[in-house]
Amino acid sequence: MTNLKVIGKEQVAGYEFTGIEGGFGDGTRGMLVRDIADIHGTDTRTINQNIERNRNRFKDGIDIIDLKTKDVVITLSDNGFTQNQINRSKYIYLLSERGYSKLLKILEDDTAWDIYDKFVDGYFNMRKALKQQKSENPHDVIQALLEASNDDHKALVDVKDRVYDLEENIPLSAGEYSYISKRINQRVSEVSKGFGHALTSKQRGELFKDINSGVKIIANIDTRTQLRARHYDDVVNFITDWEPSTATKTVIRQITLNLNETA
């Protein structure tokens, strides 16, 4: 099995969890069931029960890995698991993006589909974006085409047009992508304070849904992994000035009223 690499604590959509690469293929990422349980406001036992009831739907090494098996190279005690937790746990599962999507179909809770897009955009697809960036190097294109052109004018024009297109469509660097995610988290936190009381995870989820929707509209994209270098300044400026829509504010107030009525 491919060695797993713990890349440290990750922050996506206001949730903190352990980032792990490897296991499902080169550079792919996985999420611990322990962290998934926290995100969905439940416990690890409940998530494991849902997986076990549908275990035949999860393919080993593709959807799921049990970190307690002997062929997994990862030190659990060094990554937030106490020895007592390790001893008590029958399974310590890691899910791939595909495995997580299968789990969401099983859970079907309020959190599930609201946060799935955020984690696909901000976590699972990060390495895909980096690979794409590395493969589209305008200087490599120039060199390759110049060598084949034999000083042909038409080839040089083609080079210029292609390089311009590539420069316009260079994916964000890892640092730029990370900064946008950080600014989104910061702006949502700033706006949350304006409501005068602590917001629930569901209410904060509405804010994240609103700001991410705005980012996609500004850049005219379907997912945040489609952001390009040319979008960067406009998106950062949008996030800095962002305020939730009237509809989102109304939803948040209604959730608060419902909570007060049931209290």
Residue 91 CA neighbour count, 13 Å, CB half: 19
125-129 average pLDDT score: 51
Residue 158 has pLDDT above 80, yes or no: no
pLDDT of residue 77: 46
22 or 184, which is more confident: 184
CA dist list (Å): 198 to 75, 189, 193, 195 = 37, 10, 7, 8
Pairing of β 64-66 and β 93-95: antiparallel
In tens, the pLDDT along 204-255 reads 889 988 998 999 999 998 877 788 888 899 999 999 999 999 999 999 999 8
210 or 116, which is more confident: 210
Residue 50 has pLDDT above 50, yes or no: yes
pLDDT of residue 133: 47
Domain ranges of the chain: 5-124, 137-168, 174-262
164-191 average pLDDT score: 79
How many other β-carbons are positioned within 10 Å of the β-carbon of residue 123? 22
Residue 49 pLDDT class (50, 70, 90 cuts): very high
d(CA 38, CA 43): 7
Residue 130 pLDDT class (50, 70, 90 cuts): very low
77 or 262, which is more confident: 262
Q: Are the CB atoms for 180 and 173 separated by under 8 Å?
A: no
Residue 93 pLDDT class (50, 70, 90 cuts): confident
134-146 average pLDDT score: 51
Residue 164 has pLDDT above 70, yes or no: no
pLDDT of residue 182: 86
Give SS3 for 21: strand
Helix axes 97-107 and 44-53, enclosed angle (nearest 10): 90
pLDDT of residue 247: 94
255 or 68, which is more confident: 255
In tens, the pLDDT along 29-45 reads 788 888 888 877 788 88
Region for 236 from its dihedrals, namely left if φ exceeds 0, alpha if ψ lies in -120 to 50, beta otherwise: alpha
Q: Are the CB atoms for 170 and 229 separated by under 8 Å?
A: yes
CA dihedral 246, 248, 253, 255 (to 10 degrees): 160
pLDDT of residue 53: 92
Contacts of 99 (CB under 8 A, 6+ apart): 30, 58, 62, 63, 64
